[in-house]
């Protein structure tokens, strides 16, 4: 194939990123849109860059070194990247390549002024913008200067910031190549950025224009504050005109300079309202062409807009696809389920197929459409009440949308809104046998599933699973199970409300729920203390476990060779038989379970060995039970001393009995779900193994990037689209950079709620009080359970906790999370263990540093960072 070193922008289309880089491909595509004016120019292709790189073999060694450097070792990155840049800039451009560039220059005007702009193959992509990572040079004049600046652009692929960005984005330096755009300069009256969606709220119907005088560099570099215009449906709906004291202008002989703006002009708008509206209209045309919101660089020359760049806005959270033009309001499932990380396609589709309500996917997360329930006043009240008790930020966000008055239509109460959420359930007697019966039903069903699935393979397996999903949903929606869950929660709410009203005591139910029976999640944490008791007397076993790495999956077999190792292995195996179906992010079937990766538990076991005495599990449970019993006696005694006290005490006693009987079961249905999930997963992975043996799949984990239905099709046809799997892997990687909103509208707006409280000290971090008490201690900011390293008295600070985190709860004194509600798993277990806890603390893991002393006010709902 003959290498082509130069392409004219008019020849380029959007599919040529590998040849002309992201910027070059976008500019070529922009040139093709009718009515869009793009300054002319050409692109020096990645073929030219590869040829230059081949001239210096020493660069290869330095790339090897770069790939091994820790992304946080800034000094090493700075040194190596500077060496690579100097080497590239020192390479003479071969004659034939220089001739191709100067020939293209002559066609566009040899002595004209140009912008010489880097265009890497990994920039301006839908999943990563790389904005500002490589260099641009403005007002470059003459062939010699152009060639020199082309070399500088090649070298800028290895600026310290670009190298660090690639390392953190998981992109190999060798896979990225550099093209260079050489484009005629325009000398604008004004310039700036147009976002075709609001970059802050994500609203796709609101465009934002930033504008300043002179070249856009003044805005990009932060030299001046821009004028900001907001445009919705062809009308400027908001604007802020800044005092623009300086601008960047071009120099006659090349280069640029800062200039002061006359004081009379500083507060003039850089654009008129009609110009802003016209610019946004052009932006909408560009957005429609590329099929997604754009970040567009523009210049105004003689009342004519020139577009000098357009790239996707990569920070916007995607919108669920509905196929209609109606307004929709979505609530995040991840915030309810304590798993806000992205899920792989198989995980998403399996949760959708086994859930009780329809769910919509966006950005690797699931959302429930609550529009119709908000539209009917009766169901709206029930929804807001239940959401408010769980997570006030969700309720406040929903109320913000409702208060606008024009987004959610109003439907009559008898309309399709359905019964009020969390409405009154039928009365249920307080009988422990009910809980026993529900647990037995679930265990019998799981045993039948394990037995019957063994003989199913190929397409027959998928038919069997679809039937199993119906049984799954039947158990999940069992009316008796729902009654028990609601009875426990409603009794808790009743106690908190009435005991505050009658006794002036906040969150009294927190103590009354300590060591409640039948709580599978809290039992799981205590059971790991029993495992530690088996291991503690054997120093050889402890030393061996201290050396076990995350990837050493065969360590259980090696244990048996040590003194006490057989007992240790048997204790761990017994624990895994009961709880090995669990893991962090367990609603995603693709996540490795403890049974598949038992090394995850090793740091927690070692913490338990170090921080506890033998018999701690039984002692802790009994202490909690006695504390709850003592609290019950105290509350009833105080109530009887009140006017009408016998009635109040009798009512409270009935509710306390109800809480003690039913609240523990709240955790069981989730355990039942993940137990069934593990059975499904093992069967699907066995099928994947057969596909690997048949040469259909490269590796069995590739099935995680297919939906359930797609996997069924692959099993039937023995054909797979490898490109689709790769695209899904790339998309999944990019979703980690997105922060899922609690509430999302079909306009793309991420609506953030607020606590709206004035009873919190200045500087404190506000959250939701979910487990009473106040505790002070060292904050341990832990984002990965496998990296836990706790000392007695530590306070756990993390993004979210699902049931798999409960083994850590036995060793901490308090809990702070970014996500959570009154009845989410972390809150339930914190109350069960008597840990002061505040959840829903926005950005807690960023605002609290690991090792800082903090005070957690679990009764009032805030966290103080101490000196």
Distance between CA 339 and CA 333 in Å, rounded?
Answer: 8
684 to 505, 687, 728: CA distances (angstroms): 52, 5, 19
| Max intra-chain CA distance, the chain | 101
Residue 137's CATH number: 3.30.1490.20
Q: Torsion angle, CA of 642/644/650/655, rounded to 10 degrees?
A: -70
Average pLDDT in the chain: 91
- Evaluate whether residue 99 is within a structural domain: yes
* CA–CA–CA angle 643, 644, 645 (5° rounding): 85
User: What's the gap between Cα 754 and its chain centre?
Assistant: 20
The 10s digit of each residue's pLDDT in 533-592 is 999 999 999 999 999 987 787 899 999 899 999 999 999 999 999 999 999 999 999 999
* CA–CA–CA angle 809, 811, 817 (5° rounding): 40
Instruction: Decide which of 560 and 676 is more confident.
Output: 676
Asked whether residue 52 falls in the same domain as residue 154, the answer is yes
Asked whether residue 275 falls in the same domain as residue 198, the answer is yes
Q: Based on the structure, what is the number of domains in the chain?
A: 5
Question: Looking at residues 739-752, what average pLDDT do you find?
Answer: 95
- pLDDT value at position 222? 63
Question: Looking at residues 159-165, what average pLDDT do you find?
Answer: 82
Distance between CA 530 and CA 609 in Å, rounded?
Answer: 10
- pLDDT value at position 97? 94
Asked whether residue 206 falls in the same domain as residue 75, the answer is no
Asked whether residue 851 falls in the same domain as residue 801, the answer is yes
Distance between CA 668 and CA 680 in Å, rounded?
Answer: 19
Read off the pTM.
0.87
Containing domain of residue 249, as a range? 186-316
The 10s digit of each residue's pLDDT in 472-501 is 999 999 999 999 999 999 999 999 999 999
Residue 819's CATH number: 3.50.30.10
Burial 678-701 (b: 16+ CB within 10 A, else e): bbbbbbbeebbebbeeeebbeebe
User: What's the gap between Cα 437 and its chain centre?
Assistant: 38
Q: How confident is the model at residue 422 (pLDDT cuts 50, 70, 90)?
A: very low
Residue 2, pLDDT > 80, answer no
Distance between CA 750 and CA 397 in Å, rounded?
Answer: 9
Asked whether residue 150 falls in the same domain as residue 221, the answer is no
Distance between CA 430 and CA 655 in Å, rounded?
Answer: 9
Asked whether residue 805 falls in the same domain as residue 665, the answer is no
Asked whether residue 611 falls in the same domain as residue 655, the answer is yes
**Surface-to-core class of residue 537, CB atoms within 10 Å of its CB (0-12 exposed, 13-18 middle, 19+ buried):** middle
DSSP-derived pairing of the beta strands 795-798 and 774-781: parallel
- Evaluate whether residue 497 is within a structural domain: yes
Closest by Cα among 296, 326, 518, 530 to 409: 326
125 to 26, 136, 168, 339: CA distances (angstroms): 10, 18, 16, 27
Distance between CA 516 and CA 621 in Å, rounded?
Answer: 9
> Which two structure tokens, joined as six digits, stand for 228?
């900001």
Residue 187, pLDDT > 60, answer yes
The 10s digit of each residue's pLDDT in 254-299 is 777 777 777 777 788 999 999 999 999 999 999 999 999 999 999 9
Asked whether residue 433 falls in the same domain as residue 580, the answer is yes
Question: Looking at residues 836-849, what average pLDDT do you find?
Answer: 95
The one catalytic residue in 177, 335, 472, 825 is: 825
Asked whether residue 97 falls in the same domain as residue 246, the answer is no
Angle, nearest 10°, between helix axes 345-354 and 458-476? 50
Residue 266's CATH number: 3.30.470.20
Residue 143, pLDDT > 60, answer yes
- 825 catalytic? Reply is yes
Asked whether residue 471 falls in the same domain as residue 587, the answer is yes
Scanning 504-553, the segments in alpha helix (DSSP H) are 509-512, 520-535, 539-546
Cβ contacts of 89 within 8 Å, gap of 6 or more: 151, 152, 155
Cβ contacts of 451 within 8 Å, gap of 6 or more: none
Half-sphere exposure of 433 (CA within 13 A, CB side): 2
The 10s digit of each residue's pLDDT in 633-656 is 999 999 999 999 999 999 999 999
């Amino acid at each position: 194939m003959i290498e082509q070193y130069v392409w004219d922008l008019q020849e380029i289309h959007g599919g040529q990123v590998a040849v002309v880089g992201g910027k070059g491909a976008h500019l070529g595509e922009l040139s093709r849109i009718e009515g869009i004016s793009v300054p002319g120019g050409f692109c020096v292709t990645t073929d030219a860059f590869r040829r230059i790189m081949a001239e210096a073999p020493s660069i290869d060694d330095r790339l090897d070194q770069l790939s091994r450097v820790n992304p946080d070792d800034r000094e090493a990155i700075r040194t190596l990247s500077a060496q690579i840049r100097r080497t590239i800039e020192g390479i003479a451009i071969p004659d034939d390549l220089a001739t191709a560039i100067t020939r293209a220059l002559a066609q566009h005007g040899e002595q004209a002024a140009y912008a010489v702009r880097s265009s890497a193959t990994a920039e301006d992509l839908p999943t990563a913008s790389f904005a500002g990572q490589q260099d641009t040079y403005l007002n470059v004049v003459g062939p010699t200067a152009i060639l020199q600046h082309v070399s500088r652009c090649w070298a800028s692929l290895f600026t310290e910031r670009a190298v660090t960005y690639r390392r953190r984005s998981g992109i190999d330096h060798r896979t990225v190549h550099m093209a260079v755009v050489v484009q005629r300069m325009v000398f604008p009256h004004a310039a700036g950025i147009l976002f075709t969606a609001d970059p802050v709220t994500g609203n796709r119907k609101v465009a934002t224009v930033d504008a300043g005088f002179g070249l856009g560099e003044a805005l990009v570099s932060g030299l001046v504050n821009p004028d900001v215009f907001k445009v919705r449906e062809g009308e400027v709906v908001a604007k802020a005109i800044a005092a623009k004291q300086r601008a960047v202008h071009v120099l006659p002989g090349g280069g640029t300079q800062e200039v002061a703006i006359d004081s009379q002009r500083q507060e003039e708008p850089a654009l008129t309202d009609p110009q802003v509206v016209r610019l946004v209209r052009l932006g909408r045309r560009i957005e429609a062409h590329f099929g997604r919101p754009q970040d567009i660089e523009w210049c105004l020359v003689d009342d004519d807009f020139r577009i000098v760049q357009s790239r996707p806005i990569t920070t916007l959270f995607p919108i669920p696809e509905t196929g209609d033009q109606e307004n929709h309001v979505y609530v995040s499932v991840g915030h309810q389920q304590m798993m806000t990380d992205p899920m792989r396609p198989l995980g998403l589709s399996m949760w959708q197929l086994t859930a009780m309500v329809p769910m919509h996917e966006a950005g690797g997360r699931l959302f429930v459409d609550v529009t119709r329930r908000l539209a009917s006043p009766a169901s709206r009240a029930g929804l807001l009440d239940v959401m408010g008790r769980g997570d006030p930020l969700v309720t406040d966000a929903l109320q913000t949308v409702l208060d606008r008055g024009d987004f959610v239509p109003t439907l009559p109460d008898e309309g399709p809104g359905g019964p009020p959420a969390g409405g009154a359930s039928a009365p249920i007697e307080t009988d422990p046998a009910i809980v026993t019966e529900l647990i037995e039903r679930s265990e019998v069903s799981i045993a039948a599933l394990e037995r019957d699935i063994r003989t199913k393979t190929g397409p027959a397996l998928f038919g069997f699973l679809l039937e199993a999903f119906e049984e799954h949903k039947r158990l999940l929606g069992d009316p008796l199970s729902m009654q028990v869950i609601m009875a426990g929660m409603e009794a808790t709410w009743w106690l908190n409300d009435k005991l505050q009203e009658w006794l002036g005591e906040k969150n009294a139910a927190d103590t009354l729920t300590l060591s409640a029976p039948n709580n599978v999640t809290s039992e799981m944490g205590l059971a790991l203390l029993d495992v530690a008791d088996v291991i503690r007397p054997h120093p050889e076993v402890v030393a061996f476990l201290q050396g076990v790495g995350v990837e050493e999956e065969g360590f259980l077999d090696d244990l048996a060779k040590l003194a006490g190792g057989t007992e240790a292995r048997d204790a761990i195996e017994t624990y895994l038989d009961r709880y090995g179906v669990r893991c962090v992010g367990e609603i995603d079937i693709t996540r490795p379970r403890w049974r598949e990766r038992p090394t995850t538990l090793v740091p927690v076991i070692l913490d338990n060995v170090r921080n506890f005495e033998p018999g701690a599990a039984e002692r802790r449970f009994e202490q909690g039970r006695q504390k709850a019993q003592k609290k019950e006696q105290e509350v009833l005694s105080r109530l009887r001393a009140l006017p009408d006290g016998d009635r109040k005490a009798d009512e409270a006693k009935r509710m306390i009995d109800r809480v003690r009987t039913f609240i523990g079961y709240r955790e069981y249905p989730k355990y039942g779900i993940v137990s069934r999930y593990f059975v499904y997963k093992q069967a699907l992975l066995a099928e994947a193994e057969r596909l690997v043996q048949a040469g259909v799949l490269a590796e069995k984990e590739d099935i995680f990037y297919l939906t359930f239905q797609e996997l069924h099709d692959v099993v039937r046809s023995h054909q797979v689209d490898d490109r689709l799997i790769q695209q899904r892997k790339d998309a999944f990687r990019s979703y980690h950079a997105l922060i899922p909103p609690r509430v999302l509208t079909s306009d793309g707006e991420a609506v953030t709620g607020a606590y709206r409280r004035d009873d919190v000290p200045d500087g404190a971090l506000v959250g939701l009080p979910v487990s009473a008490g106040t505790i002070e201690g060292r904050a341990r900011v832990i984002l990965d359970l496998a990296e836990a390293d706790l000392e007695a008295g530590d306070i756990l600070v993390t993004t979210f906790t699902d049931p798999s985190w409960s083994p850590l709860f036995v060793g901490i004194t308090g809990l702070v999370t970014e996500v959570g509600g009154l009845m989410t798993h972390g809150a339930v277990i914190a109350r069960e263990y008597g840990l002061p806890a505040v959840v829903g603390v926005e950005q807690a893991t960023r605002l609290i540093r690991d090792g800082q002393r903090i005070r957690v006010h679990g009764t009032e709902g805030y966290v103080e960072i101490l000196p």
